[in-house]
Amino acid sequence: MTVKELEAQLLSLTAAEKIEAIRILTQHINQNPRGIIKTPGVMGGDACIAGTRIPVWLLLNYRCQGASDAEILEAYPQLNATDLVNVWVYAQAFTDEIQTAIKQQEEADDLTGKLVRVNRISN
């Protein structure tokens, strides 16, 4: 099979199949392969980098706020470039899921901020 033929086949895959293909390839490239997993009861069941409690939505939110991959890797030294590739591919494949998680977190942050202000006023 040529690279051109492989490219045509890869482009015809569904988003979920592309994620699986990337997972398989990165396992063979990276000494410490990790994928994206959802574990009930861990981080609210949100998609996280396997073996961590770092949710996909958090890293995507940083990126949307202007953080570069290098800045994210500096902030999370336990991650590597392959982890970020997995995150970006997952986020692209499951956009609605990730956007919903970001919105829920923003709403929770707003509520927390309101509760802190109420406590300060009460004291």
Segment 53-78, tens digit of pLDDT: 999 999 999 999 999 999 999 999 99
Q: What is the residue-averaged pLDDT of the chain?
A: 86
Whole-number Å distance between alpha carbons of 96 and 100: 6
What is the CATH classification number for the domain harbouring 32? 1.10.10.10
pLDDT of residue 26: 67
Whole-number Å distance between alpha carbons of 10 and 61: 28
Question: Residue 38 pLDDT more than 90?
Answer: yes
How many domains is the chain partitioned into structurally? 1
b/e map of 24-58 (b: 16 or more CB within 10 Å)?
eebeeeeeebbbbeeeeeebeebbbbeeeebbbbb
Q: What is the value of pTM for the model shown?
A: 0.66
For 69, the domain range is 3-122
- Average pLDDT of the residues in 33-51: 90
> pLDDT grade, residue 29 (50/70/90)?
low
